[in-house]
Amino acid sequence: MQPPAPYPPPYAQGSAAPAARPHTGVAVGVALVSCFVMPVVYVVLAFGLLGHRFGGGPSFTPLGVAMAVGFALWITALVLSIRSILVSGRLGASRAGGIAALIVSVLSVVTAAAAAAFGLILLSGGGAHGRPLRVRGRPRTAPTRRDTAWSVDPSGALPDASRLTADERAREAARWTRDAREEHASIAAFARLSVDLLALGAPPGLVERAHRAALDEVLHARLAFALAGAYAGEPVGPAAWPEALDAEAAERPAGTLRRVALESLVDGAYGEGLAALRAAAEGSADPAVAAVLATIARDEAGHADLGWDVLAFCVALDGSLAPALVEAAANLTVRADSALERAHAASVREGLDALLAHQGGTAAVERSRAATSTR
């Protein structure tokens, strides 16, 4: 039997602890990701949310998550950069990499803040946003090109762009180009509504008003493209738009009725009404712009009235649509981003309650709210 090995004497030399490493490359990599990747995410989210303003989902939630992730990424880069500097100093190594990572981390705050601000401006910007053309549920607009046909103001009045700086003119050109594309898309949306109304057996008055609304949108698009061209210094107009033919294919009558009812509430009563309020509230010191806004405000208010009348027609055909409509109205309040939107959403919800009570009585409204709250 072998005797046990003796314990090492207390003075024996133990193994040395591993030296800390600065991980400078990791710090620089995280800082670069924070500086260049997250701002792109913010801007992409902003454009995506802009296209879904009335389409679904709380507007600021994805953007808020992206901001939180970006902030966490920045804190990580900052901690790693400082650690790299301290460890490099203790090891007698160069601190240049850690300092570079720290500088990039600080710059990432500037780029992320600028991108986030740009996204918020896009989401809360002014202008009129009327009835969109939806393709597979998502709003679509036509691309643009240099085109004089659409960029001539029928009234002949153009804004005085000479008093603005180059940056201000570019900003106004982009804004009015965006509005013009949305007004142009509304032409197709109302044309589609007129076909839907025919399919549902609507009375001639509603069909006629849908066609008149489409003609209003032709005028709005021409006015907005004219303003965009005046600010851009060259004519702007819509390009060919074959995607307009990709709207939902023929549906069964029940599917068409439900879609038309929901679109009349969300895109008509709410969306067109909000566009009218925005245009009326905006105003402009330039007489030409003020005249365009006044025309849009007047016509969009009429289109909102059409939305309410189409909605009443749909509910009269099928009262079982009430729960879906109540839920959609509640979602409008959730997605509201400004005081104006929240107030208008509340007004639309009250109007829907009155419409449903008139069609089916107060008990029907309560049943619809109960059905919605249990989901």
For 157-214, the DSSP string reads ----GGGS-HHHHHHHHHHHHHHHHHHHHHHHHHHHHHHHHHHTT--HHHHHHHHHHH
Name the band, by pLDDT with cuts 50, 70 and 90, for residue 119: low
Does 212 or 62 have the greater pLDDT score?
212
Among the residue ranges 115-124, 197-206, 243-252, the one predicted with the least confidence is: 115-124
Which pLDDT score is estimated for 250? 54
Highest mean pLDDT among 29-38, 156-165, 178-187, 366-375: 178-187
Q: What is the pLDDT of residues 335-372, one digit of tens each?
A: 888 899 999 999 999 999 999 998 875 545 555 555 55
Q: Is the pLDDT of residue 93 over 80?
A: no
What pLDDT score was predicted for residue 301?
A: 96
Distance between CA atoms of residues 232 and 349, nearest Å: 40
18-22, 167-171, 177-181: segment of lowest average pLDDT = 18-22
The whole-number pLDDT of residue 231 equals: 94
Average confidence (pLDDT) over 303-312: 97
* Per-residue pLDDT at 158: 84
Name the more confident of 84 and 307.
Answer: 307
Across 267-295, average pLDDT: 92
User: What distance in Å separates the CA atoms of residue 79 and residue 77, rounded to the nearest whole number?
Assistant: 6
Answer yes or no: is pLDDT of 334 > 60: yes
pLDDT band at 68 (very low <50, low <70, confident <90, very high): confident
Dihedral sign of CA atoms 156, 162, 163, 165 in order:
positive
Q: How far is CA 261 from the centre of its chain?
A: 22
Q: Mean of the pLDDT values across residues 221-241?
A: 94
Q: Is the pLDDT of residue 187 over 90?
A: yes
Lowest mean pLDDT among 17-26, 94-103, 273-282, 353-362: 17-26
Average pLDDT over residues 290-303: 95
Tell me how far the alpha carbon of residue 228 is from its chain's centroid.
Answer: 21
DSSP assignment, residue 21?
-
- Amino acid identity, position 259: R
* 251 pLDDT more than 90: no
- Mean pLDDT (the chain) is 79
Q: What average pLDDT does this structure show over 169-193?
A: 94
Highest-confidence segment of 11-25, 54-68, 86-100, 361-375: 86-100
CA distance 49 to 57: 9
The residue-averaged pLDDT of 87-91 equals 73
Report the predicted TM-score, pTM, of the whole model to 2 decimal places: 0.66
Residue given tokens 């009262």 in the structure block: 319
Average pLDDT over residues 17-25: 62
Higher local confidence (pLDDT), 306 or 54: 306
